Amino acid sequence: MNYNKYTKDTAAHIKDLFSQHPEKQFPYHNQEHTILTVLHAREIAQYYALDDENNFIVTVAAWFHDIGHLFAPLEKHEEKGAEIMTEYFTANSLPEHLIPTIAGCILATKFPSHPGTLNEQILCDADTYHFGTTYFRQTDNAVRQEFELRTGKSFPDWHKKTIALLRLHQLSSPTTASNSSTPANN
């Protein structure tokens, strides 16, 4: 299978969807965040020396993980992203057995995340990579702006929610999951 062709075509497709919907570019969940998540997913996947198939799964899941924001409410964007991915890959003849695994990675990013496989953990960690960087102050502000924009509500105690989020956030452990699609026993 030509993973590189599917990956390049996926990247072009997602970028095209973002360009078709400039009015739905949110302060945080946008093309820039998607590209950064892809880069971080590749970095983490390289660390774990994933084989070609699993590297492909993690990478294309990263491309699709937030595309649902363009087409669905905030709380349903993962499901919509998995649906868009399924339709896209079904139409483009991706081997059928890969689709549920990619969808599982996308759905694992739903907050609060509960990744069950190493691939799901990698995508969740790539999606929250900014938590451990100095870039977090900017991303946290962008997320707050987006929540205010999308809900019409003000969040004067956002910083308290941010601190609680960081305290509750748990980095994935490679010993709690495998590359299989079977959830680990925790």
Instruction: Please indicate whether residue 103 or residue 184 has the higher confidence score (pLDDT).
Output: 103
Please report which confidence band the pLDDT of residue 155 belongs to, taking 50, 70 and 90 as the band edges: very high
Report pLDDT digits (tens) over 29-73. Answer: 999 999 999 999 999 999 999 999 999 999 999 999 999 999 999
Please report which confidence band the pLDDT of residue 170 belongs to, taking 50, 70 and 90 as the band edges: low
CA distance linking residue 178 with residue 183, whole number of Å: 8
CA distance linking residue 114 with residue 134, whole number of Å: 25
Q: Say whether the peptide bond before residue 183 is cis (omega within 30 degrees of 0).
A: no
Q: By 3-state DSSP, what share of the chain in percent is helix, strand and coil, each rounded to 5?
A: 70, 0, 30
**Domains assigned to the chain:** 3-176 (1.10.3210.10)
Residue 22 pLDDT: 83
